[in-house]
Chain A
Amino acid sequence: GDQVEQSPSALSLHEGTGSALRCNFTTTMRAVQWFRKNSRGSLINLFYLASGTKENGRLKSAFDSKERYSTLHIRDAQLEDSGTYFCAAEAGGYKVVFGSGTRLLVSP
């Protein structure tokens, strides 16, 4: 069935460094959305992409439906970036499939 494999499951960064999160899809997805879950449990929308790339500040996301993946790049990580990041992909047929999440910890 439609599945999303998100990696890594956990990531530790020092302030000022960067890395990338990735979601691989087992089927062609129509769009992808990236969220961050903050310490209070609220979901924050980061990006919504049907194709291509989007950038916002220190975050950049890309989505390639043909190659079945999406990435979220974080540069110059700050302490407040800590949290759990999820991707969610629109699988069609009114179905949205979530990745398992990446727990990011940014330390001084």
Chain B
Amino acid sequence: DAGVTQTPRHEVAEKGQTIILKCEPVSGHNDLFWYRQTKIQGLELLSYFRSKSLMEDGGAFKDRFKAEMLNSSFSTLKIQPTEPKDSAVYLCASSLGGRWDTQYFGPGTRLLVL
């Protein structure tokens, strides 16, 4: 079975650009999460979808970050405009049984904003 896939694996952007990250959850999973990961903070939740509906939208990230779930098997995270402080690993995860069920993560997109 395919796990969570994310593209691209690496992204380099200049300050002010728009970038779009993509995620395909595990087939059949109803819950999809976008996180930002840093060594200091660990995982920070950006967005949480349940059955394509946005359930949580991380307050600190609302202004320049927008996640969408166009169908049950595809989601995007748009960062617009990018800033150097956005440099981090962006992880997508999915789960079958709700917010606190085991989450399966993709390999992540490493973003560097110059």
Identify the A interface with B (CB < 8 A): 2, 31, 33, 41-43, 45, 48, 86, 88, 94-98, 100-101
Given A33-B43, A94-B3, does the pair A41, B56 have CB atoms closer than 8 Å?
yes
Q: How far is the CB of B23 from chain A (nearest CB, A)?
A: 13
Given A94-B106, A94-B107, A95-B105, does the pair A48, B56 have CB atoms closer than 8 Å?
no
Stretch in contact with the other chain, from B8-16, B63-71, B77-85, B95-103: B95-103
Q: How far is the CA of A103 from the CA of B56 in the complex (A)?
A: 20
- Other A-B pairs, 14, CB within 8 Å; known A42-B59, A45-B43, A96-B105: A2-B102, A31-B42, A41-B56, A43-B45, A43-B56, A45-B41, A48-B43, A94-B104, A94-B106, A95-B103, A97-B102, A98-B101, A98-B103, A101-B100
B86 within 8 Å of A (CB atoms): no
Identify the B interface with A (CB < 8 A): 3-4, 40-45, 56, 58-59, 93, 100-107
Does the CB pair B100–A98 fall under 8 Å?
A: yes
The main secondary structure of chain A at its interface with chain B is strand
Q: Which of B40, B102, B106 is packed against the most chain A CB atoms within 10 Å?
A: B102
Q: Which of B43, B45, B101 is packed against the most chain A CB atoms within 10 Å?
A: B43
Does the CB pair A45–B102 fall under 8 Å?
A: no
Query: Which residues of B lie under 8 Å from residue A42 when comparing CB positions?
Result: 56, 58-59
Query: Which residues of B lie under 8 Å from residue A98 when comparing CB positions?
Result: 100-103
Does the CB pair B59–A94 fall under 8 Å?
A: no
9 closest pairs, A vs B, by CB? A48-B42, A94-B105, A98-B100, A33-B42, A96-B103, A43-B45, A97-B102, A95-B104, A33-B43
CB nearest neighbor in B for A34: B42
- Partner of A96 from the list B3, B102, B106, B107 (CB cut-off 8 Å) is B102
Please name 6 pairs of A and B residues whose Cβ atoms are closer than 8 Å in the assembled complex, sorted by A: A33-B43, A43-B56, A45-B42, A94-B4, A94-B104, A95-B103
Q: How far is the CA of A33 from the CA of B43 in the complex (A)?
A: 8
Q: How far is the CA of A65 from the CA of B56 in the complex (A)?
A: 30
Q: How far is the CA of A101 from the CA of B56 in the complex (A)?
A: 18
Query: Which residues of B lie under 8 Å from residue A88 when comparing CB positions?
Result: 43
